[in-house]
Structure 1
Amino acid sequence: MFLPFAAGYYLSYLFRTINTLIAGRLTSDLGLGAADIGLLTSIYFLIVMAVQIPIGMCLDRFGPRRVQSTLLGVAAAGAALFGLSTGILSLLVGRAMIGLGTAAALMSGLKIIVLWFPRERMALLNGFMIMLGSLGAVTATAPAEVLLDGIGWRGLFEALAAVTALAGILIYLVVPERSTGALPSTKPATLKTICSDARFWRIAPLSATCIGSAWALQSLWAAPWLDDVERLDRTSLVDELFAMALTLSLSALLLGLLANWMRRRGKTTEALFAVVAVMLIGAELVLILHPPWLSLLPWYAVSVAASATALTYAIIGDYFPTELVARANGALNVLQFGWAFIVQYGTGLILEQWPLQAGHYPLIAYQIAFGVNVLLQLATLVCFAVPWFGGLKGRVGPLVARQGTGRWSSDEVIVPAAEVVILETDEDKAW
């Protein structure tokens, strides 16, 4: 049950990140510019975003086995078309078909986890799923470079088409069915249930701007940055992309283990996700400031943030019943993939506002593009942390007032503290 869906997610991650490796070849073979490459790569995220809600509904109704096996057939056809393309239009159509065909890869895997495994293990298993899937990003670096040297980007996509079709057949033949059951009639399974939940809208913007940005940067703009700003040669660049992808895979497992450890001790994973968001913003600020040393460490931090779905999907799984989990994850993915599209395409548009200098875009172009992104991430981080600020104020306020009177006793300290605990619990329930 688990491994066939992990294979499907592996292929989706490979397709998502392969363009950062072949962008130079597409530019030289077909004469594409930065905006063309940005649009071609980001159309994947746009299509995935557009179909997340209907796919979530199909997963809840028809089950992951039938949905995923069918869609992987579409992805295989898209990969075949991409490999045969001679212009931007056919490339866009092929890439869009790949996006549609792999749009359910992660959600179907998460649905399998919800159906077959206990909830207290969801964060850990999500981490395993994302770790195995993100090995596709590892494959899309040095291993794929070897294949590119041997069979070219066209031959690579024809091979991927065959493997993807085989994965779809495997899922259909091997994975058993399991009914999700039905929600009680007093709580209909509608999208309104998700969109009206304040907890969802607290975490979704931060998740979108951070995880979506990390996806967009790692799957496309990391390579141009290392080429234009750091001036790495091709071998060094591919090696760094490989290290970033390996960091992504290992950090997914690590975050899953940390989340599982926290949940077993009765703690939520929201704080851990906030730490990852702060780390990503700090890494992007380092890239923007560009100190006089190689920017490899910040790019590794971006890779860690790209794996934080191991946390957010587990958090969403705690918010909603089993019958709504796929739709809730789909709604979250709409925002994450939508933001990834905006960052990938928007970065390309911003870069083209500056002329090439000896075949490279200047540092200031990247600084402007990344700076706009960081400002929006900071805004969503503040919104996410507002309830914590309120809880801290509730703890500190009564104690400060007591301190100002100069009268301290055990009763005067203990009673207000107990009152604060009650207020905090009510606040948490509201969220």
Structure 2
Amino acid sequence: MNLNLRFFLHVFMPFAMGYYLSYFFRVVNGVIAEPVALELGLGPASLGWIGSAYFLFFASSQLPLGVLLDRYDTRKVASYILIIAAIGSLTFAFAQSALMLWLGRGLIGLGVSACLMAAFRAYAALLPPERLPLVNGLQLASGGLGALTATLPVELMLPLIGWRGLFIGLAVLSLLLAVFVRFRVPPILPTTDKPVALSIQIKESLAIFRHPLFLRIAPASVINQALYVALLSLWAAIWLRQVDGYSQAATADLLLWSAAGMVVGFLTLGWLASRLQSLGIPTSLVSIICMVLFLLLLTLVLIRADLPATPLWFLLGLFSTAGALMYAALSQGFPKSLSGRVNTALNLMVFISAFLLQWLIGVMVSFWQPLENGFYPAQAYQVSIGICAAVQALALIWYFIGHRGRSKKAALDTVT
């Protein structure tokens, strides 16, 4: 199949809408955190714990999801799992305790866990490899649009419908989208007529984590994505409010700009990687260079450099997309029969890391005593997020100086 109107209407659009919803759920937590905390009396550790449930449940689904996507019709897997998101959204909407918020947030994460991976599985099955960086970038941009509408627009809606009304609406939307994916997308079946034994599929899935190409590429990609997800979905909003002193409306505005940068990044970096790959420059190298720029920008945020906030947060969002280019790089380095499991293996690591980072930042911040206004000192956030940035730096160093045996070089050549 080519990138034509039929592809975009029957394949891309349903999956893009699913990832839009997935990212909306992911990011809206940062905007509703303050009203939820005020209503239920939650502190930073509780907020981090509740927010991290999305990533924990999401991560726990990735290995079985990869097997399901490679074994069964992709559209059916994606549509059935979306129903869980509707259940989780209703649970969150009617929650009266931190535990119920945690459970609802977790079920939401589980319910949208197939939105991106099902799309990547479908694109890898239907399109030539050289088209993957571009169409993957477009898919990821749809998630960026979800992040955009989960910031300032939600801030404007909250006085009208409240955070509980918002999640009731999202539950209805999840159900409608499940029906849309099921009946709009054509069947995307396994690449072989003879089913592979489940035990063999599981063994192949575990082997991916030991593959030299995966071991070299994954750490930098994982931390880059997980760190920005943890920031945009919770801690960036709290940083802007408690450290930089912005109002709730101004905070939502800056988050909107950062999400806009993410959309631009997904679109432009995917296009750039496709063009450069045709010139012999590997996608993995483009990704790594942009990750270095992301880390430099985050450092400027942490040291509170005297720079205009809007372009700084916009560029941070733009280069946060660098790690996602590795999905295309890895897909090109493995057989199509493994494409679902390769992408979910990387996604598993991303969301385990996002769970840990979002939760641990809250735990580390809680080591400091709150100020009289209930906020925590700037140093608490600088140290906590700075430790995460240092882990990103180590992952980048590993990419450049990690062990490079002969088998590793051969694996890398399959990508370039």
TM over 0.5: yes
Count of residue pairs the alignment pairs up: 397
The residue aligned with 1:83 is: 93
Is 1:116 matched with 2:131?
no
Is 1:195 matched with 2:209?
yes
Q: CA 1:181/1:82 → structure 2, altered by over 3 Å: closer, same or farther?
A: same
The residue aligned with 1:207 is: 221
- Following superposition, the deviation at residue 183 of structure 1 comes to 9.7
Structure 2: how far apart are the matches of 1:339 and 1:295? 27
Q: CA 1:39/1:183 → structure 2, altered by over 3 Å: closer, same or farther?
A: farther
The residue correspondences of 1:415-426 to structure 2 (distance < 5 A) are none
The residue aligned with 1:370 is: 385
- Following superposition, the deviation at residue 200 of structure 1 comes to 0.4
Please say which of residues 67-76 and 110-119 is displaced more in the overlay: 110-119
The residue aligned with 1:69 is: 79
- Following superposition, the deviation at residue 266 of structure 1 comes to 2.6
- Following superposition, the deviation at residue 338 of structure 1 comes to 1.0
Q: In 2, are the aligned partners of 1:213 and 1:343 still within 8 Å (CA)?
A: yes
- Following superposition, the deviation at residue 369 of structure 1 comes to 0.6
Is 1:258 matched with 2:272?
yes
* 1:125-160 Cα distance to aligned partner (Å, 9 max, x none): 000000012211011011112221211001000001
Is 1:240 matched with 2:254?
yes
The residue correspondences of 1:344-363 to structure 2 (distance < 5 A) are 344-357=358-371, 358-363=373-378
Amino acid at match of 1:368: V
Q: What SS does structure 1 have at the residue aligned with 2:186? A: coil
The residue correspondences of 1:158-169 to structure 2 (distance < 5 A) are 158-169=168-179
Structure 2 alignment gaps of length 5 or more? 1-10
Q: 1:25 aligns with which of 2, 22, 35?
A: 35
- Following superposition, the deviation at residue 427 of structure 1 comes to 7.0
Q: CA 1:286/1:140 → structure 2, altered by over 3 Å: closer, same or farther?
A: same
- Following superposition, the deviation at residue 426 of structure 1 comes to 8.6
The residue aligned with 2:51 is: 41
Q: Percent identity?
A: 34
Q: In 2, are the aligned partners of 1:211 and 1:305 still within 8 Å (CA)?
A: no
Structure 2: how far apart are the matches of 1:55 and 1:307? 23
- Following superposition, the deviation at residue 275 of structure 1 comes to 1.1
Q: In 2, are the aligned partners of 1:256 and 1:310 still within 8 Å (CA)?
A: no
Q: In 2, are the aligned partners of 1:222 and 1:299 still within 8 Å (CA)?
A: no
* 1:355-397 Cα distance to aligned partner (Å, 9 max, x none): 2222321111111112211221121111101269x8xxxxxxx
The residue aligned with 1:125 is: 135
Amino acid at match of 2:136: N
Amino acid at match of 1:8: G
Structure 2: how far apart are the matches of 1:260 and 1:336? 23
Amino acid at match of 2:409: D
Q: CA 1:362/1:99 → structure 2, altered by over 3 Å: closer, same or farther?
A: same
- Following superposition, the deviation at residue 20 of structure 1 comes to 0.3
TM-score by length of 1: 0.87
Is 1:386 matched with 2:401?
yes
Q: In 1, are the aligned partners of 2:261 and 2:316 still within 8 Å (CA)?
A: no
Q: In 2, are the aligned partners of 1:180 and 1:322 still within 8 Å (CA)?
A: no
Is 1:428 matched with 2:391?
no
Amino acid at match of 1:428: K
Q: CA 1:354/1:296 → structure 2, altered by over 3 Å: closer, same or farther?
A: farther
Q: 1:318 aligns with which of 303, 323, 332?
A: 332
